[in-house]
Amino acid sequence: MEILDGLDFLVEEDRNKTNIKLLKNSVEHRDISHAYLFYGNSMALLCRLALAFSASINCYKRGCGRCDICRNTLKGIYPNLNIVESEGNILTIDKIIELQKFMSVSSYMPGKKICVIKNAEIMNELASNRLLKTLEEPPDGGIFILLTEDISAILPTIVSRCLVFNWNFKLGRSDVESSDFAAIFSSLNDGIKNMIKSNDRTCVNPLNLSLEIISILKEMEEEIKTTQSKELKEVKNSGGDKDDINKYLKILKSRHKRQTSKFYKLGINHVFDIISAWLVDVLVVKFGASGEVLNYRQNYLFINENFKNVEAKEIFRLLETIEESRDYLNFSIYLELTLDNIFIKFQNLCY
C-alpha cells in the first residue's frame, strides 16, 4: 500500500497514524465500508487523501501507485470514480441525483464505484435528505467518501451513517502566497541587522521590533477580513432561497474563522522561520561555511563581521526557545511577549 504509506502532508501524530492503519487494514482485508466522512483543515488535502484511498481500494496491488488504476484515480479521471462538487455556493439536489445515476449504472471497469463528495457541509436540505436515503439503502459495491472542513454543518443523521476520520494536515507557506509575507521578511531582516550593528543598545529597541511585526500581521488580518466581508455581502445579495442563504452564511462564517486562524498560525510560524534561518546562518558561518550555503546570502558579510564572538551553545539555546514557542503559541498578547524575549536574547548574543 505504497500510496497510503507515502502521504507526505499528514502531521506526525497518533491520530493520523491510527487513521492510516485503519484504512490500510480495511483495504488489506477487503473490509470496506459503504460510507466514510473525512474532515480536516484543508479541502485540497482531504481530496488528495480521498483519491489515495480510492486508488488503494481498486488497485490489484492495494495501492501500488504505478498502475493505470492508481495513476488515473489520483488524477480524478478513473471511470469508477465520480467527484461531486458544487458549481456555486450550494451543493444542490441535482448533484446528488447525478451521483445516484452514476452509482446505478454497471461499470465496465473492475473494482468498486466510488463517489467523493467535496464540501459536503454546503448541501442544502433537499440534497442532504436525498443523500441520507442513499446512504441508508446503499447500492451494492458503492462507496461514498464525504469531505468537509466543518463537520458541525452536516446533518447528524448523515454523519452517523459514515465512518468518521478526523485528520490534521501540514500547512506550509504555500497555503498563503509567499509575497504576502514580504513585508514581514523585510522588517525582520532589517530589524535584526539594526539591533546588532551598533554597540549602543538603544540603536534599535527589540520591543519596538516586536510591535512592528505584530502591526504587519494585524494589517494583513484586516485585508483578509475585508475580503471575507465582501464575500458575505455577495451571498446576502445573491437572490437565492432564503433558507439556503442563511445556511450558507453560517457555513461561510465558520470557514472564515478557520481561514483566519490558519493565517495566524502561518504568519507566526513564518516569523519564527525567518528568525531561525538567521540563527542557522550565524551558526554555519561560525563553522566556516561560505555565503553560498546561507538561507539569506545577502547577510554573509554582516554576519561575518558582527557574530565572531558568539558561542554556538547560545545559538542552539535560542533555537530551542523558538521551537518551544511554536508548540503553544497562538496569535494573542503572548505573541508580543514571546517575540520580546526572543529579540532581546538575539541582541544579547553580540554583547
Judge whether 39 and 163 are in contact, CB under 8 Å: no
Asked if the model's pLDDT at residue 172 lies above 80, the reply is no
Which residue did the predictor score with more confidence, 228 or 81? 81
Q: Using alpha carbons, select from 264, 254, 262, 268 the residue that is nearest to residue 170.
A: 262
pLDDT (0 to 100) of residue 97:
94
Separation of alpha carbons 264 and 166, rounded Å = 22
Crossing angle for the helix pair 242-286 and 182-196, to the nearest 10 degrees: 30
pLDDT (0 to 100) of residue 176:
40
- What would the mean pLDDT of 131-153 be, rounded to a whole number? 90
Q: Cα-Cα-Cα-Cα dihedral of 178, 184, 187, 188, to 10°?
A: -100
pLDDT (0 to 100) of residue 173:
41
pLDDT (0 to 100) of residue 103:
92
Mean pLDDT score across all residues of the chain: 84
pLDDT (0 to 100) of residue 189:
84
Domains for the chain: give ranges and CATH numbers.
2-166 (3.40.50.300), 176-348 (no CATH)
- What would the mean pLDDT of 239-262 be, rounded to a whole number? 74
Asked if the model's pLDDT at residue 163 lies above 90, the reply is yes
Give the pLDDT confidence of 187-232 residue by residue, as tens digits.
888 888 887 765 544 445 777 888 888 888 888 888 888 888 887 8
pLDDT (0 to 100) of residue 262:
66
Separation of alpha carbons 212 and 184, rounded Å = 9
pLDDT (0 to 100) of residue 147:
95
Give the pLDDT confidence of 261-301 residue by residue, as tens digits.
767 777 787 888 889 989 999 999 988 888 888 888 888 99
pLDDT (0 to 100) of residue 39:
92
pLDDT (0 to 100) of residue 174:
44
In the chain, what percentage of residues exceed pLDDT 70?
A: 90
Of the pLDDT bands very low, low, confident and very high (cuts 50, 70, 90), residue 25 is very high
pLDDT (0 to 100) of residue 325:
82
Give the pLDDT confidence of 341-350 residue by residue, as tens digits.
888 888 888 7
Separation of alpha carbons 207 and 342, rounded Å = 10
- What would the mean pLDDT of 95-122 be, rounded to a whole number? 90
pLDDT (0 to 100) of residue 140:
84
For cell 446533518, the residue is: 155
Separation of alpha carbons 335 and 351, rounded Å = 25
pLDDT (0 to 100) of residue 178:
45
Cα dihedral sign, 317-322-328-331: positive
Asked if the model's pLDDT at residue 124 lies above 60, the reply is yes
Asked if the model's pLDDT at residue 84 lies above 60, the reply is yes
Q: Are strands 35-39 and 142-148 parallel, antiparallel or unpaired?
A: parallel
Asked if the model's pLDDT at residue 250 lies above 70, the reply is yes
pLDDT (0 to 100) of residue 351:
67
